[in-house]
Amino acid sequence: MGFSEQLLGKPEDWVLDLDRHSVLMVMSEAEMAAAQLDAVDAGALPILLKTLPADAEIPPSALSSASVLVLEVSPASNASLERLSAVRALYPELPVIAAVRDANLPLVRALLKQGVRDVVGLPLPHAELVEILREISTELRAKPSSEVALGQLVTIMKSIGGVGATTIATHLGSELAARNTGRGVCVFDLDLQFGDAASYLGLSSELSISDLLEAGSRIDGDLLRSVATTTEGGLHVIAAPVDMMPIEAVNADQILRIIDVARQQYDYVVLDLPTNWTNWALSLVARSTAIFLIVELSVGSLRQAKRQLQLLDSQGINGSHVHVVANRVEKRMFRAIDLDSASLALGHPVELSIHNDHPLVRAAHDQGVLIQQIRAKSKIIGDITAFLPRLGVEV
């Protein structure tokens, strides 16, 4: 068998219809011979073979034109494993099927965690591979086109920890969900160490954002919706991990990929960011269609808020979509810091404010319910409803 050739045989179990998609198989000469691929019918599916040692570099021209890659992986060879890592890094969207001899469960798990789409044994099992290719074919055809309208990305930022941003994120999401008749609303709790959005809403799930982060290139709309839990009001929530994880360990490309998929699935994606800044958090803020920075009327909160506004401005993130919100505002005269003073200190208008009712908020959190389920006409809910016109929603 030559270095590369099209497969021309006629067995019907290999006739696939992948439209303009193609499969690249890269295996050693021994494995290629053992698979007896000379009898394969490409049908409407172009299948290109490349006979290469398990640790040899794959020509970029072949990879760039492939829609699916079937790649031999030799676990005993560091060079073979590094080749797989290089392919995943350079072509993160390319579905990779790893072909491995005598693969044990820990190895399969490690490969899947690295972003491999699936694992098949060697010698190559025709029927199993055909089924995997059919599944990928369906997914490729079902991928949203670039013409699909992306949902709004709404980011809730904290000036300091404990400022009430998560309460605002969950209630804003609930208000949006109550009025949405389209693709729905999803809140992402990205406070990976101290996130409480799910518990505030009385939700419990074994799945969380960490499952999406570990999914690699397998992330799609179906997987995302399977990880989300849903409130009675129809709000979807992606919970923070049960176990703490280092926020700097998050793969920036992967979290951006997750949020891109979410915007294809939902009309509104609400992000509850951690207090600490990371490169991936800044990238998400830069992509946001609306940003709400939550402050309190205290010197410490306003000082940190001003620093964050300066950071955003240095990155070209400014304008009418950046809104400062004063939370827990006491409606009384002679306050030490009022809204006008806060605006002056920040060099940015404080457009929105939320009434202070700590006992009511605490009761809602303790019961795992929304504030309006305890008090139907809460001033807090009225104040959060004032956010909606900034998102193009009529009140």
Instruction: Write out pLDDT tens, residues 327-337.
Output: 999 876 556 78
pLDDT value of position 274: 94
∠ Cα 173 176 177 (to 5°): 85
Return d(Cα 332, Cα 155) in angstroms, integer. 30
Both 215 and 67 in one domain: the answer is no
pLDDT value of position 177: 96
pLDDT value of position 22: 74
Mean pLDDT of the chain: 85
Write out the E strands in the chain: 23-27, 47-51, 68-72, 96-100, 118-121, 152-158, 185-189, 229-230, 236-238, 268-272, 290-295, 322-329, 350-355
Q: Exposure pattern of 242-251 as b/e (b: 16+ CB <10 Å)? A: eeebebeebe
Nearest to 292 by CA among 193, 173, 117, 206: 173
pLDDT value of position 25: 86
pTM: 0.64
Helix, strand, coil share (%) of the chain residues, nearest 5: 40, 20, 40
Q: pLDDT band at 249, cuts 50/70/90?
A: confident
Q: pLDDT band at 18, cuts 50/70/90?
A: very low
Residue 7 pLDDT > 50:
no
Q: pLDDT band at 38, cuts 50/70/90?
A: very low
The better pLDDT of the pair 156, 214 is held by 156
Both 133 and 173 in one domain: the answer is no
Which residues are 70's β-sheet partners? 25, 97
In a domain, 342, yes or no: yes
Range from 146-155, 212-221, 253-262, 291-300 carrying the lowest mean pLDDT: 146-155
Return d(Cα 342, Cα 295) in angstroms, integer. 9
Cα torsion angle, 74, 78, 79, 85, sign: positive
In a domain, 124, yes or no: yes
Both 336 and 231 in one domain: the answer is yes
In a domain, 112, yes or no: yes
Q: What is the mean pLDDT of residues 301-319?
A: 92
Both 31 and 109 in one domain: the answer is yes
Q: The domain containing residue 127 runs over which residues?
A: 12-142
Both 43 and 183 in one domain: the answer is no
pLDDT value of position 61: 66
Return d(Cα 5, Cα 51) in angstroms, integer. 10
pLDDT value of position 332: 66
Both 197 and 251 in one domain: the answer is yes
CATH for 58: 3.40.50.2300
The better pLDDT of the pair 202, 142 is held by 202
Q: pLDDT band at 8, cuts 50/70/90?
A: very low
Task: Confirm if 329 and 356 have CB atoms less than 8 A apart.
Answer: yes
pLDDT, tens digit (0-9, with 9 covering 90-100), for 324-362: 999 999 876 556 788 999 999 999 999 999 999 999 999
Both 180 and 235 in one domain: the answer is yes
Return d(Cα 323, Cα 351) in angstroms, integer. 7
- What H or E segment, with its residue span, contains residue 109? helix 105-113
- In the numeric block, the tokens 């915007």 are attached to 263
Q: What is the mean pLDDT of residues 37-51?
A: 54
- In the numeric block, the tokens 């940190």 are attached to 304
Domain boundary among 123, 142, 161: 142
pLDDT, tens digit (0-9, with 9 covering 90-100), for 143-186: 655 556 889 999 999 999 999 999 999 999 999 999 998 999 99
pLDDT value of position 261: 93
Domain tally for the chain? 2
Q: What is the mean pLDDT of residues 197-219?
A: 90
